[in-house]
A and B are shown apart, each in its own frame.
Chain A
Amino acid sequence: QKEVEQDPGPLSVPEGAIVSLNCTYSNSAFQYFMWYRQYSRKGPELLMYTYSSGNKEDGRFTAQVDKSSKYISLFIRDSQPSDSATYLCAMSAAGGSYIPTFGRGTSLIVHP
């Protein structure tokens, strides 16, 4: 079992839809949770960063962490074609060098 599981998709939605992206993990030591967006042939860019459990909102994006279930989510409201990209979850444990473990990414396609 991989430490971080993420469905690769693709996930195809119409413009304006609410998108839900998810990851599960097995390492209970993870405390820092990140979501990255990666456009084709580009490097990832950090979208959201959350520490421990709870919700965090930034514009159309909401990140949720449920440590009891080892489950994290990213919601995108009013999705736009420009949101079409691969979304990678990442998480790391406290202490040491905080090097994150990445999921394989979910490909999202928002069609007009």
Chain B
Amino acid sequence: GAVVSQHPSWVICKSGTSVKIECRSLDFQATTMFWYRQFPKQSLMLMATSNEGSKATYEQGVEKDKFLINHASLTLSTLTVTSAHPEDSSFYICSARDMRLGSYNEQFFGPGTRLTVL
């Protein structure tokens, strides 16, 4: 199957700083990437959908000025958590899909990034 990587796999930062998480599709071109957030023993919560070369579409309740998403190429999307606070501590997972393949439902997930804000 297709491979999606995330970097870093875990990060600890101080409150008030910004953190950037990268999501890369390694062996396919991702026309669409998704960013999720997952709390312990909870489901995946979709934060935003990004299409290559256009602005991300954020889900209701997600602050777009706080969670900056850039999808500048077909293989890379970044999520920047700006002015992070302890309540932003969570597991962030990206997924990618190539809409041109025709398998509209298969998303390939990255391994996730655990963010801890002190």
Chain A residues positioned under 8 Å from B110 (CB to CB): 43
Q: How far is the CA of A98 from the CA of B95 in the complex (A)?
A: 14
Total count of chain B residues near the partner, CB < 8 A:
24
Q: Is the interface of B mostly helix, strand, loop or mixed?
A: strand
Verify if B49 is at the interface (C-beta below 8 Å from A).
Answer: yes
**A48 nearest CB across to chain B (Å):** 11
Interface Cβ pair total, 8 Å cutoff: 50
Q: A46-B106, A49-B106 are in contact. Are A102 and B44 (CB under 8 A)?
A: yes
1/0 per residue, CB under 8 A from B, across A74-108: the answer is 00000000000000100010000111101111010
Verify if A34 is at the interface (C-beta below 8 Å from B).
Answer: yes
**CB within 8 Å of A: which residues of B?**
1, 4, 6, 32, 34, 41-44, 46, 49, 91, 93, 95, 104-112, 114
Q: Report whether B46 and A107 are in contact in the complex, using a CB–CB cutoff of 8 Å.
A: no
Q: A43-B110, A99-B34 are in contact. Are A34 and B105 (CB under 8 A)?
A: yes
Q: How large is the interface on A (under 10, 10 to 19, 20 to 34, 35 or more residues)?
A: 20 to 34
**A110 nearest CB across to chain B (Å):** 18
Q: Which of B41, B93, B110 has the most CB of A within 10 A?
A: B41
Q: Report whether A45 and B109 are in contact in the complex, using a CB–CB cutoff of 8 Å.
A: yes
Residue of A nearest to B5 (CB): A43
